[in-house]
Structure 1
Amino acid sequence: MLTMMYLVRHAHTIYTPDERNRTLSEQGYADAKIVRKLLAAEQVDTYISSPYRRAWETIVTDPSAAALDERLRERQIAPAPVKDFQGAMDRLWSDEEYQFPGGESNMTARRRVVDALEDILAAHPGKRIAIGTHGNLMVLALGHYDDRFDYAFWKQLPMPAIWKLTFDGRRYIQAESLRLKK
């Protein structure tokens, strides 16, 4: 029995340090409408999202239309915004076990998201499931299943982005990008 999982990186946001309540930009809202139409055309059965507003706003218009799963939130780099974001990313992706004080390593964040995805697969066999999440966490999850998804891939990943993963039971088969028609 095939299960389709649609990992959705949220659309463009208006940056604020408030991770949970950061909302989409005007362009982000326009792109989210396209994402939602594409997911409807794919006949998605179930919507599950990070509790962060930008993630659920990309896949549904109302947060009650998606189950919110804390394990799908973006990885915590450090307790406060880092001064050199790109330098921090270089450091984290160059050493799977490295973590800034109070933050998550790639290894820890990957374990968290893969555990969530495995639980979702077990709970929704044969379904089409949209997962609203974040770029860093999305690529860590994709990289668990397929090693072509790495730091270089993350650096060029657009907002929003949708990757459709196909599973036979809990066995990963393939991942394909779904292109947004703007």
Structure 2
Amino acid sequence: MSLTTPLNPSEKTELILIRHAVTEANLRHVMLGRTNPPLHPLGIEQAQAIAQALVKEHWHTIYTSPLLRAMQTAEIIAQARSSQVHQNIVPLILPGLAEIDLGVIDGLPSYQAYQEFREVMDQALDPEADDFAFSGGESRVAVHQRFYLALQEIVHRHPGQQVCAVTHGGALGLWFARSHQEPLGHLRQRQPQHASITRVIHENDAWQIAQFNDVSHLPTALQQAIKELANQGP
């Protein structure tokens, strides 16, 4: 995707960053990177709640990671907004928004990943591990770079506008860790929850976090049902 619109750095662009809703794999504690499950039925309800929270705002464009769980979340949000504005809004795929490729552990239940790759998993959990990568996967520095470039591409395309983007916890965690000038190993502490809404402002060539990890739109009963399923384990 090329940069077709020059960016006026003084224009204020609001980017609404949405972490995708939950999948069955999330509820079973699977190491989920490029593994590509659909949304769980409760995840669909989460996406519908996001859609209602954003339906009366001012955006007309929504970007998405190419992974199914993000695309389904984006489609539900776009459909609600399309009905509101009487315009067919189709999510635009932006590969740079994809989740981290976790290589050899991608798709494994977390307990199995610890059993088979304990030493590597311990390295991955080190908060000071800046440029870690699983065998066959992406390095954190590479993911942060492509994610940052994807966000820059969006604001170049939509200066002065409000735009949505559906993406993933790991990629978001890396970006927010670096935004706080922390090692990329802090990604778990910085990643927002599933189906959360985070707002960032781009103005004068700088980013500012306006709202982080808002889940007030998610019904308490829905979140409790998801928590109970997750607590059942694999």
TM-score range, shorter chain: 0.7 to 0.9
CA positional deviation for 1:97:
1.6
Matching residue of 1:5: 15
User: Does 2:195 align with 1:180?
Assistant: no
Unaligned runs of 5+ in 1: none
Structure 1 residues 164 and 55 mapped into 2: Cα distance closer, same or farther (>3 Å)? same
Structure 1 residues 146 and 126 mapped into 2: Cα distance closer, same or farther (>3 Å)? farther
CA positional deviation for 1:69:
1.0
Contact 1:118-1:170 at 8 Å conserved across structures: no
Deviation string, structure 1 residues 58-96 (Cα, Å, up to 9, x no partner): 2223798111011111011215525139646415x5311
CA distance in 2, matches of 1:76, 1:35: 26
Helix, strand or coil at the partner of 1:60: helix
Matching residue of 1:134: 168
CA positional deviation for 1:14:
1.4
CA distance in 1, matches of 2:208, 2:135: 37
Matching residue of 1:29: 44
> Quick check: 64-73 or 132-141, which moved more?
64-73
> Quick check: 20-29 or 112-121, which moved more?
20-29
Identity of aligned residues (%): 22
CA distance in 1, matches of 2:101, 2:54: 28
Unaligned runs of 5+ in 2: 1-10, 80-88, 220-234
Instruction: Using structure 1 for the length normalisation, give the TM-score.
Output: 0.84
Structure 1 residues 9 and 171 mapped into 2: Cα distance closer, same or farther (>3 Å)? same
CA distance in 2, matches of 1:41, 1:144: 32
| Structure number with higher strand proportion | 1
Structure 1 residues 124 and 25 mapped into 2: Cα distance closer, same or farther (>3 Å)? same
Say which of 197, 215, 232 aligns to 1:162: 197
Coordinate RMSD, CA, aligned: 2.8
Query: How many residue pairs were aligned?
Result: 180
CA distance in 1, matches of 2:22, 2:67: 13
Instruction: Using structure 2 for the length normalisation, give the TM-score.
Output: 0.67
CA distance in 1, matches of 2:33, 2:176: 26
Contact 2:34-2:102 at 8 Å conserved across structures: no
CA positional deviation for 1:18:
9.2
Contact 1:51-1:70 at 8 Å conserved across structures: yes
Contact 2:20-2:194 at 8 Å conserved across structures: yes
Deviation string, structure 1 residues 96-155 (Cα, Å, up to 9, x no partner): 122222211211110110011111111110111111111000111223333479335246
Matching residue of 1:72: 97
